[in-house]
Amino acid sequence: MRVTLFDYGAGNIHSLAKALATAAHAEVRVQTDPVKALDTDVLVLPGVGAFGAAAARLEPGREQMRQALERGLPCLGICLGMQLLFEGSEEGEGRGLGLFKGRVTRLRAKHVPHIGWNSVEEDTAVQGARLDTVYYAHSFVCRAEEPGEVVGWTSHEEDRFPASVRRGKVLGVQFHPEKSSASGVRFVQAFLQEVAP
């Protein structure tokens, strides 16, 4: 299985690539060109960085990527990667892929960013890979307009927001599975096995 990380200048590429290789026994590569990144079995949108800068790197291949995901290319979006699956963000300029309806807004909490271990409620993201506690590091969250696409929830202070969204073979998670110990690696492995060609 070929797994491609689309590198839009975000951090954490190395540890994520290592976790993916461990989880999937797959050929993991990193690609900075959004169109070339689509020549893969599974696309991964990594999770550290700012929305505006990432959207700018995505823009030259935004429509091709959206069409590929609509046609069934499996994709895992992590944290910022999940946010790029939505229409836009108040964090910065630029358009997301718009695969999920809704926008990304700042956490409604006194203590931001939300960093550390927290629960996932009503987790149905991946069959047989239920997560109870995972690692979060973010200041912005997705406000999904289609409740049926939310497959996991979490809360920080009084703000309840999607921990994960799913549409077909496209899964977005606000948490970092690669930083969530063995259960996070198992979660990634289960997803990759589920969507494998």
Residues belonging to the active site: 79, 176, 178
Q: Work out the widest C-alpha separation in the chain, in whole angstroms.
A: 44
Q: In what order do the strands lie in the sheet with 150-156?
A: 27-31, 2-6, 42-45, 75-78, 170-173, 159-167, 150-156
- The pairing of strands 150-156 and 159-167 is antiparallel
Rounded Cα gap, residues 183 and 180, in angstroms: 6
